[in-house]
Chain A
Amino acid sequence: AQSVSQHNHHVILSEAASLELGCNYSYGGTVNLFWYVQYPGQHLQLLLKYFSGDPLVKGIKGFEAEFIKSKFSFNLRKPSVQWSDTAEYFCAVNSLNTGNQFYFGTGTSLTVIP
């Protein structure tokens, strides 16, 4: 079945540590890729997106993600996390092959310890 996988369900880091959250998808063809973040008590908002071009995309708050087509991956990274990055992170995929739908991973809960 086509899917989006986020293998890290819960990550705990100390401030200033580096972050990498994995996202793999199983859809073929051209894909649009997204990372969303949900801070405690807030609504989902876009961190970054990839449609085409440079596979390394930069988003808000120092986040970046790399699209590796051969690995069907779109991992999220941040060199140095802060306490305020504590949130839930969702990877999402959309393509013409999936119709007018987005497919979301199950999310990764990140806790940053001061």
Chain B
Amino acid sequence: DVKVTQSSRYLVKRTGEKVFLECVQDMDHENMFWYRQDPGLGLRLIYFSYDVKMKEKGDIPEGYSVSREKKERFSLILESASTNQTSMYLCASSSTSGTGLNEQFFGPGTRLTVL
């Protein structure tokens, strides 16, 4: 059974703290993604990576950075957490097809609250 796991289901941090969210997939997928999910806004892409050490900005990268040192692991970093980063963070992975990308597999999400 394919799996995408995220390091925490719930996280509470204080403003200004550095926050690390970890994501691991066991499907040998090339592509990994970080989204945030907010009510009424759907899923918004923060960053994605199509290979080890490669990263691309998504639609809302400000305030975030990422790291992909190994194929199976993709980390999201909030350099200095702010209250407007309170959200549900979703990690996903997918393989590549001839016409683009195959379906994404999602982790359970991390609900981050910044106080």
Contacts and interface: CB of A to CB of B under 8 A. Distances in A.
Interface string B19-59: 00000000000010101000011110100101000001010
Interface residues of A, number: 28
A100 B31 contact: yes
Contact of A104 (B42, B94, B109): B42
The number of chain B residues touching the other chain, given as a range, is 20 to 34
B interface: dominant SS:
strand
B97 interface: yes
B26 to A, nearest CB: 15
Given A32-B99, A32-B100, A43-B107, A101 B43 contact: no
Given A30-B99, A32-B97, A101-B58, A107 B108 contact: no
A44 B101 contact: no
12 contacts: A43-B90, A43-B109, A44-B90, A44-B104, A45-B106, A92-B104, A99-B56, A100-B31, A100-B50, A101-B56, A102-B45, A106-B40
